[in-house]
Amino acid sequence: MAAGEANPWARFGGRPLIAPSLLACDFMRLGEQVDIVRAAGAEVLHVDVMDGHFVPNLAISPGVVASVSAGSDRFLDVHLMLTDPLFYADLFIKAGADSITFHVEADSDAHAVIDKLRAAEVGVGVVVKPATSAEAVRPFIDQVDMVLIMTVEPGFGGQSFMADQLDKIRAVRDMVGGDVRIEVDGGINPETVVRCARAGADTFVAGANVFRAPDIAAAFTALQIAVASVEAQ
């Protein structure tokens, strides 16, 4: 199915979105911190899922996703950093994911994963690591709603933004046109979010720079203002 058909991201139109990443939350205060970004205007929550194999870290379980889904009315953008996303996709669909992105570098057959996600009527996205060429997403551009470009190495939050990924953002935007969202994840702050927006991204994952800030709501608002400044130009 082509992007735009049963695409749950369509509810947002083409407006830019800041997606706070729950990986950076204080998990003793998860519900409280989710409520803070909701009140600040977050429409999307980003959920990083890691298997300790595809990346050297473990996070976040289907049970946590189910709890967030039950306790929040926000769109859940789930990023599977898993060796076998085809096997695990059903667990996160059942947990309440609204959209799922998976890596083109994973072992599962990408077309089978896309078919599973489409059948479940959740959003479909592919992800590329920093070392993976933009060309790796070309076979899927007519089948996905989103391309996620990692601007750090996947696996851990709080890393520095990799500026060499800006050319990849531009290349993917040229490939997909305006109908497919381009998400960026890693080192996103009020300065780097502007650079990514100018390159063609429209969905911005921010973890440590939101949830580890002294004022979570103010940090989220600062990102919104920065993106709006690009839109106004």
pLDDT digits (tens, 9 = 90+) for 44-63: 999 999 999 999 999 999 99
Query: Residue 134 in contact with residue 171, Cβ under 8 Å?
Result: yes
Spell out the residues 6+ positions from residue 126 whose beta carbon is closer than 8 angstroms to its own.
101, 102, 103, 104, 110, 137, 140, 144, 146, 147, 148
Of 51, 145, 185, 202, catalytic: 185
Q: Which domain holds residue 202?
A: 16-231
Strands 99-103 and 123-128: parallel
Of 48, 51, 145, 202, catalytic: 48
pTM of the complete model: 0.96
Is 185 known to be catalytic? yes
Q: The domain that contains 133 carries what CATH number?
A: 3.20.20.70
Give a yes or no: residue 149 inside a domain. Answer: yes
Give a yes or no: residue 177 inside a domain. Answer: yes
Q: Number of folded domains in the chain?
A: 1
Give a yes or no: residue 6 inside a domain. Answer: no
pLDDT tens digit string along 77-119? 999 999 999 999 999 999 999 999 999 999 999 999 999 999 9
